[in-house]
Structure 1
Amino acid sequence: MRRERIVVDLALWALVSAPVVLWAVVRDGGPWWRAVSGVAVLAAGIALSRFLPLTALLLTVVLALTTTLELWTPAYAIALATFGCLAGRRTALARPALHAFAGTAAVGLLLTRIAHRDLWTWLTQLTTLAFAVMVPWLVGRYARQYAQLIDTGWLLADRLEREQRGAADRARLRERSRIAGDMHDSLGHELSLIAVRAAALEVDPSLGAKQQSAAGELRAAAGDATARLRDIIGVLRENDEAAPVAPTGESVTDQVKRAQESGMEVELRGEVPAGDLAPMTRRAVHRTVQESLTNAAKHAPGARVTVVLTRSDSALKVTVTSTARSAGPAPDPPGSGTGLVGLDERIRLAGGVLTHGPLPAGGFEVTATLPPAPGPPPLRTPETSPLARELARARQQVRRRLKQAIWVPLAATAAIGALIGAVGLFTRYETVLGRSQYELIRVGDARADVRPRLPPHSMENAPDGAPQQSAGPECTYYRTSIFASLPAYRLCFADGKLVSKAVVAETVVSRAIASRAIAS
């Protein structure tokens, strides 16, 4: 692993150092000491990029600024992009990098003013900082976040998924132990009846000794079977769980009456005679109504509960609906959520399907669809787990940050463009000479007397096509409007005095261009 890092660092150093050496050769040998020092500083930056990536990036920015205040130079363009990407890839927090970028822009503005350069130099510097440094930094940051999602997201989701499956499996096992308890109660009762009848036969005087002995063996075998069944089922129960009571003889109507007597507002619609159902189906119906009423009393006290039983030739449907919780005492804290998991297991083992969830208008609904006769348990359909939804949200966040990596440079470009336009207008405004001030200027006035009436700056160059002036007078041009270069005012000075002033109009420029074309 360490050897791979060394190879990668050497390759990066060669990549960022090659343009520095080539640029020194292109510039006719140039100052080799600067190229050598630049390569050495880049080597230090590569070494620091593993531990202090922002420091390595700032070293490269300083190298580029020592070459040109505009920051853009072919010698360090690749280095800026490379270290910007590494800073985004290897820095956990974004705020230090943003502070570094803002500090670089502020220092660049200060250096521009100290060097008496115009604002266009600083704008070029900002553009280079945005596209050569910030865009690679955003790309590196996206790569880091995506790698974190790949490396840790699935591991965390898998571990939590296993924990959730373990909790659901434990709930199913508890439900199966309750089913086994039902078996104990029913089979134990039947075995007890067999033992009682065998005991009666054992003392029946009408039977011979051999038949009485066989009846005694049958009684002893029934008692032993009952004891073994009790021991086996007892192992399956939880330590604090009492023996389940089989709902033999208790119908849904009895359950609803007991709930009404306890103060719940419950309405029953429909009824199915218990004798028409298989024992497994009857107990599944009993547990569905029992679990639903328990959850309604616990989580929505005061709500109205409706139990609907629908029987058809192919299925028995049990629907328990509770309205939203009415004003009243606060419900108990949320449970473990395994009650519905256990109920789902019982319904599945009975060959049915359980669905449950909140209603759009408020409240909760539990629906169990059961066959009249028990059949094979249906296959489980995979459901979207909360962890899968959480992972989907994480992926969506990564995609959102990728979009940010696209629109942030575009927004920066628009902001820089607006700043360039504002600086351009301001620069033009500082070269506009008002007509009233122009008329106050007289030929022969001293230059010191004319200067207070002039704007802070003059046009950098003469308008295109303006007539060439003979050697001697020093002529400067001023705009008459912020939005046009022509017409313009021309003032010529010689020996500290104004020797001529004129308005350079578009017609004059056109004539000058035409005369140049004829002469050529």
Structure 2
Amino acid sequence: MRERAREHLCDLGLWLLLCVPVLLKSDPNDGGSWPEVVVGVVLLGGCAAVARRWPPVPVAVVAAVSLSSTLELFTASYSPALLAFGYLAGRRQERTRAALWLFGAVAAAGLLLTTVTGTSLGQWFTLLLTLALAVVAPWLIGRYVRQYDRLVRSGWELADRMEREQAAVADRERLRERSRIAGDMHDSLGHDLALIAVRAGVLEVDPELGPAQQHAAGELRRAAADATARLRDIIGVLREDGAGAPTAPPGETVEELTARARASGLDVTLTPAPVPTLPGMSGLALHRVVQEGLTNAAKHAPGAAVSVEVAEDAADVRVRLVSGPGTAGAAGPSGGTGLVGLDERVRLAGGALAHGVTGDGGFLLEAVLPRNPPAPLPLAPTSARELDRARREVRRGLARAIWIPLALLGGLGLLMAGVALWTQHQSYLEPEDYARTRIGQSLAELSDDLPDRPLDGPPAHAPAEPPGVDECRYYRSTMLAAIPVYRLCFAGGHLADRAEVP
């Protein structure tokens, strides 16, 4: 409500300010009349009232009132209104098409009135110049101010949004860290529980143990398998969608990982040894591929032999794990999240992962990893992109505010030059045609040799016309020079004097 009252006060102040030139220049003591004052004050009041809702309307009304006073569009009473409403139209109007059509309509109306009234084209050129300087230029300035305000407003909105997003990012990072912890629990504890189950399975079939010890070992194996399944179910709920695979245990190499699995009872063969060391994400991904392959072999193919082969070249390292079919039964169904997370980890390292069942019922896991993993490309925040787009809009608005008036003035100058050349051509008398003129010839006899239009008047400092003539006509003797000119004077419809005026 307070904002609306402020807008009404601003419109009232604008109306009172624009009425001052009307009161001063339309006063009866200054050649005007009180009806003109009343009409001007009422029209300006209506324009100020609708300027916010329909910005081009006030420009059209004021331009029409100015054209009714003078074809040159420039009036002391309404020129300030043209400047003000032109600026406000650019400041408040979203689209530019209506304003461009309005400018073209004003120019066309001026040309039509000039043609109908038979006045000189110089007045129309003055109208175009007034339109460019008093309407188009303020409109462009208003467009630039609008774009600049939008940039400032976007900056404050983005700052507020970033403050809100900062708190959301902190919460999201806490949840992501919990998801990473859940992933670590699934992969590391799941791996260890699988190895415990393998060791318990070995003890269960050890002939040196008694039946009670073998039964206890069997219960331990089944408990480890159940704990693995429950861990998988719980972590499946906690794991974040699309979360990357966890990192390797600190300091553990692929040789130590396979040795730990071998000590747990897995038949693991590693070639070659030692395994090539890879930097950064590739090294972590290599460890994860071997760890996931051994974990799956311990869970789903206990007792089967596992071969781990690592081959390298100048650009890539290929790791291949092949496990045979199990001999002691599977440890339970797989949730599939391990391979999904592993594929994401390999992809982030710039490599590729493949897996599938072999012809003899075993399982193949193969990954190709680059020696130099690509650096992650930082994405520009959405707020930064929006701010950069707003800046480009402001720069384009400033460029338009500069080059459009210059283009209009240049086009107007070319148009005036063209019309001037055309006018000169219309009033150019060929020297041969002038030489054929004779004193006493009638105007009808000379009409075929004379140009369509004479000059508007004699050149400056021309000699006095001879006495006793009705009229004298002046024609250009050259296309590009103002002097000398030919003077033909007529009396009674016949040529009474001819001369070349220097």
Quickly name the TM-score band, shorter chain normalised.
0.5 to 0.7
1:402 deviation in Å? 1.3
Counterpart amino acid of residue 17 in structure 1: C
Distance 1:120 1:193, change over 3 A: same
What does 1:2-13 align with in structure 2 at a 5 Å threshold?
Answer: 2-13=4-15
Deviation at 1:229, TM superposition (A): 6.5
Q: How has the CA–CA distance of structure 1 residues 287 and 467 changed in structure 2, closer, same or farther, with 3 Å as cutoff?
A: farther
In 2, Cα distance between the equivalents of 1:15 and 1:307?
Answer: 86
1:410 aligns with 2:415: no
Q: What's the offset of the Cα at 1:494? A: 2.2
Offset from partner CA, 1:251-280 (integer Å, 9 cap, x none): 8xx9xxxxxxxxxxxxxxx98639x99xx9
CA distance 1:194–1:122, change in 2 (3 Å): same
Residue 85 (structure 2) aligned to one of 83, 86, 91: 83
Conserved? CA contact 2:150–2:390, under 8 Å: no
Corresponding residue of 1:479 = 476
Question: 2:348 matched to 1:391?
Answer: no
Once residues 407 and 460 of structure 1 are traced to their aligned partners in structure 2, the CA distance between those partners, rounded to angstroms, is 36
Counterparts of residues 254-269 of structure 1 (less than 5 Å): none
Deviation at 1:240? 12
Aligned CA distance change for structure 1 residues 9 and 369 (closer, same or farther; 3 Å): closer
Equivalents in 1 of 2:402, 2:273: separation in Å?
64
**TM-score, with normalisation over the residues of structure 2?**
0.66
Structure 1: gaps of 5 or more residues: 206-214, 255-269, 292-305, 311-317, 322-337, 348-353, 357-363, 371-379, 506-520
**Matches of 1:129 and 1:44, distance apart in 2:** 22
| Alignment partner, residue 105 of structure 2 | 103
The equivalent residue for 1:463 is 459
**Contact 2:86/2:139 (<8 A) preserved:** yes
- 1:265 matched residue in structure 2: none
Q: Say if 1:289 and 1:320, in contact at 8 Å, map to a contact too.
A: no
Name the structure 1 match of 2:358. none
Are the equivalent residues in 2 in contact too, given 1:138–1:405 (CA < 8 A)? yes
Distance in 1, Cα, partners of 2:370 & 2:377: 20
What per-residue deviation string (whole Å, max 9, x for no partner) do you get for residues 430-486 of structure 1? 111122222232212233433443212222221222212355422221111111122
Letter in 2 for 1:181: H
Q: How does 1:417-436 map to 2 (within 5 A)?
A: 417-436=413-432
The one of 499, 503, 513 equivalent to 2:500 is 503
Identical amino acids, percent of aligned pairs? 38
Letter in 2 for 1:408: I
The corresponding residue for 1:35 is 37
The alignment partner of 1:484 has SS state of coil
* 8 A contact 2:455–2:475 mirrored in 1: yes
Q: Among 180, 186, 204, which residue is 1:181 paired with?
A: 186
Residues in 1 aligned to 2:312 and 2:28: alpha-carbon distance in whole angstroms: 89
1:474-518 per-residue CA deviation (whole Å, 9 max, x = no partner) reads 22211111111222111112233221111113xxxxxxxxxxxxx
Task: Summarize deviations over 1:165-209 as a string: whole Å, max 9, x none.
Answer: 69985777654432231232145457779999999xxxx99xxxx
- Which amino acid is 2:16 matched to? A
Residue pairs, 1:40-439, within 5 angstroms: 40-151=42-153, 155=157, 162=165, 174-188=179-193, 233=235, 235-237=237-239, 273=275, 283-287=284-288, 343=345, 367=372, 384-385=380-381, 387-439=383-435
* Structure 1 residues 88 and 10: CA distance shift in structure 2, 3 A: same
Unaligned runs of 5+ in 2: 211-215, 259-271, 293-309, 319-339, 352-368
Q: Secondary structure at the match of 2:461?
A: coil
Contact 1:142–1:401 under 8 Å retained in 2? yes
Amino acid at match of 1:24: S
Equivalent residue letter for 2:21: P
Instruction: Classify the secondary structure of the residue corresponding to 2:474.
Output: strand
Q: How many corresponding residue pairs?
A: 411
Instruction: Determine if contact 2:476/2:483 at 8 Å carries over to the other structure.
Output: yes
Q: Match for 2:481: what amino acid?
A: A
The secondary structure found in structure 2 opposite 1:418 is: helix
Compared with structure 1, are the counterparts of its residues 415 and 158 closer, same or farther at alpha carbon in structure 2 (3 Å cutoff)?
same
Cα contact 1:54–1:87 (8 A) shared by 2? yes
Q: Give the CA RMSD over aligned residues.
A: 5.3
C-alpha distance in 2, partners of 1:400/1:194? 73
Q: CA deviation at 1:237?
A: 3.2
Q: Distance in 1 between matches of 2:23 and 2:371?
A: 75
| 2:188 maps to amino acid | M
Q: CA deviation at 1:413?
A: 0.8
Distance 1:105 1:83 in 2: 17
- Distance in 1, Cα, partners of 2:313 & 2:6: 69
Say if 1:53 and 1:86, in contact at 8 Å, map to a contact too. yes
